[in-house]
């Protein structure tokens, strides 16, 4: 592998890894806030105990998200300094403002919430976790705006002398139409993975405490609602992407020639066998069964004429499979959640076979989220910022492959160990009996709580 491929691989590895913890944090923060408000309003003990439990999950998940997110903040300079130099004027402010506006809120108020239960008035304490939840959503919006710039560059002008991009309007950057479609889609996906984790742990521990049943059903409802929204928002995102990156949608179906009333393959084996739904791709891409969808070959010819010679075709096989497996994983996850809710309606117990395998459910939305990003990023190739700059032009000049190999091994090792430790810690936290946060007596100097 050359230095470019290695650097791309490293970016993919650390970003996909980071994105396992991000949607979980977004979702768990909102759930913790909701549960604390529920406890505040109803005074039911189970809500307090669940708030504490979800809070612990949030703390350990957020910690991994923070340390891996820090790497993201540095990566653009380390591995992609040419991109940073030429697009820093547009891309940098998004990262800087996300840090100042959202990340500070999350980190500071999460600590206040976690350590401040006995030191803050109840309303203030509840407000701290609501602020954390708002902060995570704000973070997502701003970071997705940065990514949307790479998908569909807006709000910039190229300086003819230096070739650098100059930001023309931050509002336009934030309100990129790709961002407005991708943001709700991303949040819905986050709800699914967070709900799945709660459903999984709730079902696993249901015998030990009745409150876990509440948690399981809350998780299933979150998943189901998230699933429905993911489908709706995904449909909208697909149509926006068809407008700005028609190649991506053509690759998603491996549609080589421009077709009117294009079908969508549910499943395919090579080129000989496929289960196709007539007109579905036209509906997904353009919203009408008779619409014409541009094919890969035509787009390649068009781009070659527009941007100069070269290949503008992404990895079609990866795009094809990641797109439908993403949809499949999401739909299956939502269906399982709906089935669980149905079988446990009005106090019924779920069948044994279901409770036995349900703890594995987070794998489905996790796969859906990862495949979604894999599709989004790989099917944008060869562009780093669509239509204006290629990935190969973004890499740091001078970077050597041995440096990237060394750092990739370092990240893979440390991240691998972190994942194992995180998993065992979550399992351990779930095994402990649910307890309300013990209120330490107010005395000065206070005894050190085990932190």
Partner 1 sequence: MITFWFAVVVLAWVLFFVLEGFDFGVGLLGPLLGRDDHERGAAVTTIGPFWDGNEVWLVAAIGVTFAAFPSWYAAMLSGLYLPIAVLLLLLAIRGVALEFRGKGDGERWRRRADALLAASSAGIVLVWGALLAVFTRGLALGADGSVTGDGIGRSLSPVLTPAAGLGAAAGAFAAALLGATFLSLRTTGPVRRRARTLARWLGSGGAAALVVAGIGTGSRLVLAAAVLSFAAGLLSRHGREALAFAATAAGVAGAVVAVFTAHGPVILPSTLDPAWSLTMTEAAATASTLRLLTVAGVVVLPGVLAYQAFSYYIFRRRVASERIPS
Query: Binding to partner 1 (CB under 8 A): which residues in 40-69?
Result: 56, 59-60, 62-64, 66-69
**Closest distance to partner 1 from the beta carbon of 144 (Å):** 16
Residue placing its CB nearer to partner 1 in the complex, 118 or 235 = 118
Residue placing its CB nearer to partner 1 in the complex, 60 or 338 = 60
Rounded distance, CA 238 to CA 151, Å? 13
**Closest distance to partner 1 from the beta carbon of 251 (Å):** 31
Binding of partner 1 by 136 (CB under 8 A): no
Binding of partner 1 by 161 (CB under 8 A): no
**DSSP reduced 3-state for 291:** coil
**Closest distance to partner 1 from the beta carbon of 72 (Å):** 10
Instruction: Kindly give, in sequence order, each residue whose CB lies less than 8 Å from that of residue 327, ignoring residues fewer than 6 positions away.
Output: 234, 368
Judged on CB neighbours under 10 Å (0-12, 13-18, 19+), 118 is middle
Binding of partner 1 by 109 (CB under 8 A): yes
Rounded distance, CA 61 to CA 55, Å? 10
Residue placing its CB nearer to partner 1 in the complex, 74 or 353 = 74
Choice from 42, 44, 168, 435 touching partner 1 (CB under 8 A): 168
Q: Which of residues 228-287 bind partner 1 (CB under 8 A)?
A: none
Q: Which stretch binds partner 1 (CB under 8 A): 37-45, 339-347, 350-358, 413-421?
A: 413-421
Q: Omega of the bond prior to 445 within 30 degrees of 0, cis?
A: yes
Binding of partner 1 by 360 (CB under 8 A): no
Fill in the DSSP letter of residue 155. S
Choice from 115, 342, 357, 423 touching partner 1 (CB under 8 A): 115
Choice from 4, 9, 12, 116 touching partner 1 (CB under 8 A): 116
Residue placing its CB nearer to partner 1 in the complex, 287 or 410 = 410
**Closest distance to partner 1 from the beta carbon of 46 (Å):** 22
Binding of partner 1 by 158 (CB under 8 A): no
> How many residues does the structure list for the chain?
451
**DSSP reduced 3-state for 207:** coil
Binding of partner 1 by 441 (CB under 8 A): no
Binding of partner 1 by 163 (CB under 8 A): no
**DSSP reduced 3-state for 277:** strand
Dihedral of alpha carbons 10, 12, 13, 19, sign: positive
If we measure between CA atoms, which residue out of 134, 137, 176, 169 comes closest to residue 155? 169
Rounded distance, CA 180 to CA 231, Å? 15
Q: How many CB atoms lie within 10 A of CB 175?
A: 14
Choice from 208, 260, 288, 400 touching partner 1 (CB under 8 A): 400
Q: Which of residues 416-435 bind partner 1 (CB under 8 A)?
A: 418, 421, 425, 428-429
Say if residues 262 and 294 touch (Cβ distance below 8 Å).
Answer: no
Choice from 9, 12, 40, 89 touching partner 1 (CB under 8 A): 89
- Region of residue 264 (left: phi > 0; alpha: psi -120 to 50; beta: else): beta
Q: Which of residues 178-237 bind partner 1 (CB under 8 A)?
A: none
Binding of partner 1 by 450 (CB under 8 A): yes
Choice from 120, 138, 318, 332 touching partner 1 (CB under 8 A): 120
25-35 as b/e, with b when 16 or more CB fall inside 10 Å?
A: bbbbbbbbbbb
Residue placing its CB nearer to partner 1 in the complex, 97 or 315 = 97
Q: Which stretch binds partner 1 (CB under 8 A): 25-33, 91-99, 268-276, 346-354?
A: 91-99
Q: Omega of the bond prior to 112 within 30 degrees of 0, cis?
A: no
If we measure between CA atoms, which residue out of 344, 23, 333 comes closest to residue 203? 344
Residue placing its CB nearer to partner 1 in the complex, 335 or 414 = 414
Q: Which stretch binds partner 1 (CB under 8 A): 185-193, 347-355, 378-386, 391-399?
A: 391-399
């Amino acid at each position: 592998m050359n230095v470019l491929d290695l650097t791309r691989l490293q970016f993919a590895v650390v970003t996909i890894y980071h994105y396992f913890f991000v949607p979980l944090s977004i979702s768990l923060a909102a759930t913790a806030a909701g549960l604390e408000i529920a406890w505040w309003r109803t005074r039911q003990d189970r809500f307090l105990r669940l708030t504490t439990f979800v809070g612990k999950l949030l703390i350990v998940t957020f910690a991994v998200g923070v340390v891996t997110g820090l790497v993201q903040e540095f990566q653009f300079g380390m591995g992609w300094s040419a991109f940073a130099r030429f697009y820093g004027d547009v891309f940098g402010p998004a990262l800087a403002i996300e840090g100042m506006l959202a990340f500070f809120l999350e980190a500071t108020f999460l600590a206040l919430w976690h350590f401040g239960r006995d030191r803050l008035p109840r309303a203030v304490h509840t407000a701290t976790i609501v602020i954390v939840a708002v902060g995570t959503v704000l973070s997502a919006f701003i970071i997705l705006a940065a990514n949307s710039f790479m998908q569909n560059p807006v709000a910039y002008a190229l300086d003819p002398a230096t070739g650098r991009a100059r930001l023309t309007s931050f509002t336009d950057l934030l309100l990129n139409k790709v961002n407005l479609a991708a943001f709700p889609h991303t949040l819905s996906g986050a709800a699914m993975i967070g709900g799945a984790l709660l459903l999984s742990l709730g079902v696993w521990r249901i015998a030990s405490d009745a409150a876990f049943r509440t948690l399981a059903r809350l998780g299933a409802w979150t998943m189901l609602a998230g699933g429905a929204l993911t489908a709706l928002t995904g449909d909208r995102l697909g149509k926006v992407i068809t407008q700005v990156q028609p190649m991506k949608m053509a690759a998603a179906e491996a549609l080589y020639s421009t077709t009117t009333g294009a079908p969508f393959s549910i499943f395919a084996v090579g080129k000989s066998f496929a289960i196709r739904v007539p007109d579905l791709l036209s509906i997904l891409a353009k919203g009408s069964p008779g619409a014409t969808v541009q094919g890969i070959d035509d787009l390649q010819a068009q781009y070659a004429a527009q941007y100069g010679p070269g290949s503008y075709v992404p990895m079609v096989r990866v795009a094809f499979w990641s797109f439908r497996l993403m949809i499949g994983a999401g739909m299956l996850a939502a269906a399982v959640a709906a089935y669980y809710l149905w079988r446990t309606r009005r106090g019924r117990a779920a069948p044994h076979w279901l409770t036995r395998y349900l703890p594995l459910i987070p794998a489905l939305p996790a796969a859906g989220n990862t495949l979604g990003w894999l599709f989004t990023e790989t099917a944008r190739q060869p562009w780093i910022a669509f239509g204006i700059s290629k990935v190969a032009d973004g890499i740091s000049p001078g970077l050597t492959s041995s440096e990237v190999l060394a750092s990739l091994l370092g990240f893979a090792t440390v991240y691998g160990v972190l994942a194992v430790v995180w998993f065992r810690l979550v399992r351990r936290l779930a095994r402990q009996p649910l307890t309300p946060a013990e209120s330490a007596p107010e005395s000065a100097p206070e005894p050190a709580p085990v932190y």
